[in-house]
Amino acid sequence: MNQDGGENELCSLSPYIISNIPPIIYYIPNFISEDDELYLLKKIYEAPKPKWTELLNRRLQNWGGIPHEKGMIPDTIPQWLQIYCAMVEKLGIFKNCKPNHILINEYLPGQGIMPHTDGPLYYPTVANITLKSHAVLEWYRPIGGENTSDSSLNTKVPETSLEARNFARILMERRSLLIVREDMYSKYLHGICEIKTDIIDDKVVNLSMCEGRQIGDKLNRDARVSLTIRNVPKVMKNNFLFGRRR
């Protein structure tokens, strides 16, 4: 897409809004080039081993500081990541603030992330770049958040089950950008299932934006690396870190 800045950056994103879900998610295929993807992967895998935090179902690199209720102690973001933060910032999705935090997740086939919301430590907009392999992001209503006015949603499965609360799937292809804001950020939960193959079905709400994909496709996962780019509004000032200056 054209990444030139301008007065109406958000308007230029309107063709990328995913319809038939609550506001707002933008899906931008081919946001970065193949060369950018290779460059990012090279830099990510060059990071020293201690930069990785191993979790049970994925591993991650944290850049920019550790978000904290009392304020994040800011850490330098390397130039190779700042380039992509700037590309995202140009879209005009962070009003009066800039991306200052990047989480890099690596998922092997069969790994995923539990349903969650990103929470109040962040400005309520998240941008996510997918590298190396696709993923399917599952969306869930919160418990007690069922829409009873829609009879098609009435099923025999109790609404407390994850299956019953799962109302949409988004296919994130490699090199794409996903932007989540508003109710989809603050109200609904997202997660990635711990499976090795994704089956494309009619719950995939952005299928028409994914060239060459159709219902029934079986997509085997490779290792996927994602960049989650956010703003942490509360940051410690230097003089808090080193005591009061005299």
Ligand X SMILES: O=C(O)CCC(=O)C(=O)O
Q: How far apart are CA 215 and CA 137, in angstroms?
A: 16
Smallest CA-to-CA distance from 108 within 240, 225, 213, 227 is with 225
**Would you say 12 or 228 has its CB closer to ligand X?**
228
Q: How far apart are CA 188 and CA 165, in angstroms?
A: 10
Q: Find out whether 60 and 103 touch, Cβ atoms under 8 Å.
A: yes
Query: x-or-dash pattern for ligand X, window 115-154, by CB under 6 A?
Result: ---x---------x------x-------------------
Q: Is 226 in the site for ligand X (CB under 6 A)?
A: yes
- Beta bridge partners, 226, equal 105, 130
Q: How far is the CB of 89 from ligand X (least distance, A)?
A: 19
Give the residue nearest to Fe ion (CB).
Answer: 118
**Would you say 89 or 118 has its CB closer to ligand X?**
118
Q: How far is the CB of 234 from Fe ion (least distance, A)?
A: 19
Identity of the amino acid at 199: I
Q: How far is the CB of 179 from ligand X (least distance, A)?
A: 12
Query: x-or-dash pattern for Fe ion, window 96-135, by CB under 5 A?
Result: ----------------------x-----------------
In terms of phi and psi (left: phi > 0; alpha: psi -120 to 50; beta: otherwise), the region of 179 is beta
CB-based contacts of 142, cutoff 8 Å, min separation 6? 165, 187, 188, 189
Smallest CA-to-CA distance from 139 within 205, 60, 235, 52 is with 205
State the number of binding residues for ligand X (CB under 6 A).
9
Residues 85-114 contacting ligand X, CB under 6 A: 103, 105, 113
Please report, as ranges, the residues that interact with ligand X according to CB under 6 A: 103, 105, 113, 118, 128, 135, 190, 226, 228
Please report, as ranges, the residues that interact with Fe ion according to CB under 5 A: 118
